[in-house]
Amino acid sequence: MTSSSPFTANLWAEADRHLVRYGGGFTPEIIERAAGSFVFTAAGRRILDFTSGQMSAILGHSHPAIVATVQRQIADLDHLYSGMLSRPVVDLARRLAESLPTPLEKALLLTTGAESNEAAIRMAKLVTGKHEIVSFARSWHGMTQAAASATYSAGRKGYGPGAPGNFAIPVPNTYRPDFTAPDGFLDWPRQLDFAFDLIDAQSTGSLAACLVEPILSSGGIIEPPAGYFAALRAKCRERGMLLILDEAQTGLCRTGTWYAFERDGVVPDILTLSKTLGAGLPLAAVITSAEIEQEAHERGFLFFTTHVSDPLVAAVGNTVLDVLTKDKLDERARQLGVFLRRGLDDIAGRHEVVGDVRGRGLLAGLELVVDRETKRSSDELGARVTHRCLELGLHMNIVQLPGMGGVFRIAPPLTATEEELSLGLEILDQAIGDARAAL
């Protein structure tokens, strides 16, 4: 707790008494408001948000166009029976299809990433008539049943059996390679062959789909090498599997292109979007081909939810697309991504505890180690840097998984300025130095 005022102390007491804890500890600040790239605390502090909220607010906080849309739409039409349609819903489905390559043209509008992955998995199982799902060993796809069963980075222990037929394949991590070529670099074709040899050995012959992120975020900002997804798709095709790409965090200009899969020239059978689509509001989508949608419909696809096709958030989604297009935020993410990467590389040059800098566009990762040669990690170092950043006015998110160092996930809003990025880099630089000195 950073403030000892009676108001703040009482609020924390009420939080301790009444809130269910649903992950790690709460950030020791009470947030009063947010605007642009900053959040403001009850104690009067201004904190630079380098995570875009929950990796979602790509237009920053309280963007004027989003505010205007919510105010207008909620006065006219906010929520409907799930079987009713509205103009914002139809418009958003059409515009998403127009932003994507063929044959992706049919959309289902939902609320969260977990929900969209749940629907995608359900659709894949129904269409293929199979039930087995393959995902990366460092994946995060959500906390609902099928999505959680395909999530391997956290949350698997203590809840009993997951959905049957879920398999993990190794992550192609170029910084920490498990299969190496003679030059010492990651031999991802051999790794992928080995992975599917194991999948084939375990499968009952019911492989339905492979669900993966183009860049693993909760797995530590790991970007598979060029060519990997084309080879993965070929593995899927050989086995009659669908390829589902989860672009919750990478979609809609975050990486410098509208969709991260564009780099690889591989179009998924099913695409899921969330986080960035609502720019901080609960909006998600499942997008697939007319052929797959038709097959699912004929087989009785059912995915009723309370907030499917809600007009309020669909209107927000249309505004998000408006701003991304008008302000050319894909180009901006590429340019600012170069600026951010240069700054992170400079930090790496000054601090030996920075083992690796990676990512694409305005989704960057910085991995901390205590020994560059062995790549040995330290949970304490990552925690100290995170704490010191917050003290200095920068909110950072660190991923700490077994066998990896602490990896900072850096995802500022696409609307951030170079001055704001410079401020964040300056604070991070100081925090790393201070943390090293304290160890």
* Residues with active-site annotation: 140, 213, 246, 249, 275, 409
User: Which tokens is 214 given?
Assistant: 């183009």
Q: CA geometry: angle at 180 spanning 175 and 182, to 5°?
A: 120
Residue 46 CA to residue 33 CA, distance in Å, equals 10
| H helix runs in 351-417, sequence order | 379-392
**E strands, 100-218, in order:** 104-110, 132-136, 166-169, 207-212
CATH 3.40.640.10 residue spans of the chain: 77-326
For the stretch 322-371, pLDDT in tens is 999 999 999 999 999 999 999 999 999 999 999 999 999 999 999 999 99
> Along the chain (439 residues), what's the average pLDDT of each consecutive run of 10 residues?
66 93 89 97 96 97 98 98 97 98 98 98 98 97 96 93 95 97 97 98 98 96 97 98 98 98 97 98 98 98 97 98 98 98 98 97 97 91 95 93 82 98 98 92
Q: What integer pLDDT is reported at residue 241 of this predicted model? A: 98
User: Which tokens is 278 given?
Assistant: 């609502």
Q: What is the pTM of this model?
A: 0.96
* Cβ contact 423:48 at 8 Å: yes
Torsion of CA 76, 78, 81, 82, to 10 degrees: 130
Q: Residue 255's closest CA among 309, 158, 324, 195?
A: 324
Beta strand 284-289 with 270-273: parallel, antiparallel or unpaired? antiparallel
Reduce the secondary structure of 257-316 to three states and give it as a string: CCCHHHHHCCCCCEEEECHHHCECECCEEEEEEHHHHHHHHHCCCCCCCCCCCCHHHHHH
| Residue linked to tokens 């059409």 | 94
CATH 3.90.1150.10 residue spans of the chain: 26-62+329-438
| Fold type of domain 26-62+329-438 | Aspartate Aminotransferase, domain 1 (3.90.1150)
Residue 308 CA to residue 421 CA, distance in Å, equals 37
Domain 77-326 CATH class label: alpha beta
User: Which tokens is 282 given?
Assistant: 């609960």
Residue 76 CA to residue 312 CA, distance in Å, equals 9
Q: What integer pLDDT is reported at residue 24 of this predicted model? A: 80
Q: What integer pLDDT is reported at residue 439 of this predicted model? A: 80
Q: What integer pLDDT is reported at residue 378 of this predicted model? A: 85
Q: CA geometry: angle at 180 spanning 175 and 184, to 5°?
A: 70
